[in-house]
Structures are given as structure tokens and as C-alpha cells.
Amino acid sequence: MKVAGYVRVSTTEQAQEGYGLAAQERSVRSYCEAMSWELVAIYSDAGRSGKSAEGREGLKNLLADAKSGRFEKVIFWKLDRVARNLADLLAICDQLETFKVGLVSLSESIDTGTAAGRMIRSILGAFGQFERETIVERIKAGLAEKARQGKLIGPISLGYRRVDGKVVIDPLTAPLVAELFVRYSSGQYSLRELAEWAATIGLRSTEGNALDRLSVRKILVNVAYIGKIAMHLRKGGGVVADAVHPAIVDVDTFGKVQEMLTSRQRSYTPKYPFGKSPYPLSGIALCSFDHVPLLGARASNKNLRYMRCSTANRQGRLACPQPMVKAEILEDQIGSYVSGMRLPPEYLGAVVSELRSRKKLPQDQNQLAQLEKELERWRRLFVLGEIEESRYKKEVAPIRRKLSELSQPEEVLDVEKAVYFLRDVGSLWNTSTREQQRAFVQDVFARIVVEGPQITAITPKAVYAPLFALDRAERFEGNNARCNMAPRVGGNTELLLV
């Protein structure tokens, strides 16, 4: 068995304890000789503190070689040689276990290659979890006490700013926030109209984003503007106390706003979930201007159905140039296209054979496990207070994106169903129910791009792309003025309609 050794001392330990690098190295070599193990390398960090893993080149090189499979176990004199910080110790152990590398501690008689060693490792993990949960409880208790003292919890609300550690009124934005309350309490403005007004005067969130109707509503229900502090107020409980920061809105105006919000709440349950049936293209159709989904929207006349950009729906019609379009106009374009699809039998057999030969690559379970542990490591560091929230979010964002990609279920290829959808359901589009049309669109298309009242491009899912290519060759060969094919990432083919 190939193994590696790791030794470390800080200058203080070397002077006080007298168990330096040479003594640790001798112990490692003696143990390897006794076990008849091949010692391939000894990694050393001289004069480096164990309080953090940062700046320890020997440990860094050990982890890199462990990942490459250079050895199967790591031997060290004592657990605190690896790390004195529990969070770092657990993170290093997790990394080594991900690489299928065991750990051997000579002083504690731990060998994770044995059942007893794995038990001790589990106990260490349990203590780590206990410590994390205790810290979380302390954080919650600290936040509650901060609220009782009248201090703001979380980000500073729009209209305030922090000066020398104190929350004070921002003279530029506070009058505009107060005007939001006055306008809404008058009953002459809706949330969407207030969002449009905010856009015209340049009032934005503290992060610099445009205000939509939902963010305006959050402002209008925020008790911080009347000089109060609350925790979990929307969940029906929490701490409510007088704040140490000044109020922007008087209590009477705030009360009128709350009454107005309550009276304008919709009391009916729509027959269909918003944005779903009976809107076959909802969620698949994308706005060409900002690449967000188009959602179904009812007009005041309940018999009229429209498709609307979700950005405009949240922020008002001034937020996006894409106008509302009657749903039937876009649905008829899809119906006309698929109803005219041609899949000649003499070529269909070859396409079906090609489709059947396609297989999705198996998921890398080892990579999934490694990413999960990496995500957990950063979570531990954040909960333990070792890193700031900004760094935590920065580090975990790409990990979560990669996990989402790898966790996608494998697409099951059903050639008969694909042909049936395009040849039979497509020709019966106009006689199908909207629920059937939606099922067709969801199954066949990856996205449908809309600009104004016109569908400008459609992208079939990868499994259907060869069938669309066959239809294109049959109908539009040499007619690039009507349809032009362009390859896309992932094997899909986008049809650009002009």
C-alpha cells in the first residue's frame, strides 16, 4: 500500500513541546516499516499555525497529490497536526475521503480504513454538526436580541443609509419613499403604476435594481418606515419593538396603506393557474428583448387572452418594449408551422435509426459527491463564521449551477412518441384542446422566441432536432428567405423564421 506522511509545527510548539518535524517524521517512518507500507512522500509545513489551512503549501501539495491518486492513506502524528480548527479538520477529511484516501492518526489510534476508525471519524463529524447547530441557535438568539434593542436586521431599507455605524435618513431617497406611501394611500395608484412612477424619477432599490410592483409592495408593508423593528412578521410572529432609527412615514398614513392593500387583495381563485393552461406557449415562449419568459395574462374582458413579457408584468409596461400580444396570434403561428410539417416515410426510417443510436453519457456520480461535499464545506465555514456572506455566495454559486446541470434526469428517447407528436398531433393542432397543445409544446420545444406579434425563432429539443431537420430539407430546401438552420449548443437546432 502506498501512503504519505504529513508533519507540521509552529515555532512556539517546537520550542515548548519539543516534538518537532524530525520527531514526527521518525514516528511516521517507523509506523510505515511496521505495517510494511510504501512511504511515497512526506509533506511538511514548518512554522505554520494550525488555526487555518491558508498558507500551508505542504498541505496544499498533499491534497493535490491525493486527488491524482498518488497514495491511498495519509499518516500524521496527531489530529491537531492537520488542523486545530474543527471546520478545517472536517473539510480536509471530507476532501481526502472524496479522493478515496484514508487517514491514520498515530496518537489517537485512528485509521479510517478500519471500522473503528470510521466510527471515530463519524463521532468527530457529529461533534462538528452539534457545534454548527449550536452556533446557528446563538445567531438566531443574537438577531432576536438585536431586534428587541431596536436595531435593524438585515440590509438597510431604501430611504436610509448607515453613517458611523448609525442608521440615518437618506435625504435623497427618503422623500421619494414617503411619496410612495402618500400616493398609494390616496387610492388613485396601483402597485404597477407606482413602479412605473419610480422608474420615471429614477428611484431604484438599494442594490440599484428597478422597482417592480412586488418590491413596491414590500416597501409599503415594511414597518421600519414607521420606526419599528420586526422579525418574521409575515409568518405571523416575531419581535416587534421601537427602533432606534428615525421614521420616514407617519403611523396614520402607514395604516391607510395597509387597509388599502387588504381591500385590493383578490378574493377569488382563478380557474387556471396564472401563466399555465389555457396558455399553451407560456414559459416556453421568450421575449426577444430581455430573454425572459412570456406569461399568460387575462384582459379586463375575460374572453381575451394575451401573452406578456414577465419583466413588463413585474415592473410595468415601460420596463420592456415587447407589447402584449393576443395569445391566439402566436398559437396560430405555431399551429401553421407544425401542421405543415412533412416527414417522408422513405427518409424517416434512417432518421429513426439515428435517433435510436443516440445515448446520453452517464452521470459522473463521483463528481456529484465531490460537489456536494464541497458545497457542505463552504456552508460549514459560513455557519461557523469563518468566512463572510459575500464570499460564501460567490463560492457556492458555480457549485450549485454545476450540481443542477449534473442532476438533470436523463432524457428518455421514445422515437415512436416523437414521430407521433410531429406527424399526427401537429396536423391536429387546430382541433386539439389547449391542454393538449400545451403538452405538445412542452414536450417538443426548448424555446420559442417572440418579437412583437411575430415568432422569430423556434428551438426544438435535441431528441426532435433531426425530425425538424428532415422537415426543413423537405419543405424549405434552397429557400433561405423563409427558414435558415443554425447549429446550437447541446445538439439542438434553432430555426430562424423571417
Sign of the Cα pseudo-torsion (46, 50, 52, 57, in order): positive
DSSP 413: P
Q: What share of the chain is helix, strand, coil (3-state, %, to 5)?
A: 50, 15, 35
Q: Measuring CA to CA, which residue among 451, 211, 469 is closest to residue 325?
A: 451
10 counts as catalytic: yes
Distance CA 206, CA 167 (A): 14
Q: Strands across the sheet with 445-451, in order?
A: 285-287, 445-451, 454-460, 493-497, 483-487
Contact assessment for residue 287 and residue 307, using Cβ atoms and an 8 Å cutoff:
no
Q: What angle do CA 370, 374, 378 make, to 5 degrees?
A: 170
Distance CA 31, CA 27 (A): 6
Distance CA 81, CA 105 (A): 9
Distance CA 487, CA 460 (A): 12
Distance CA 323, CA 309 (A): 8
DSSP strand E in 175-317: where? 228-230, 240-242, 285-287, 294-298, 305-309
Distance CA 300, CA 282 (A): 19
Q: How many CB atoms lie within 10 A of CB 460?
A: 23
DSSP 296: E
Q: Measuring CA to CA, which residue among 192, 198, 206, 199 is closest to residue 176?
A: 198
- First-last CA distance in the chain: 66
DSSP strand E in 226-377: where? 228-230, 240-242, 285-287, 294-298, 305-309, 325-326
Cis status of the peptide bond prior to 278, with omega within 30 of 0: yes
Residue 456, classed as helix, strand or coil, is: strand
C-alpha cell at 290: 430581455
Selected catalytic residue, list 10, 52, 427, 432: 10
Q: What angle do CA 448, 451, 456 make, to 5 degrees?
A: 50
Residue 414, classed as helix, strand or coil, is: coil
Distance CA 112, CA 100 (A): 10
Residues annotated as part of the active site: 10
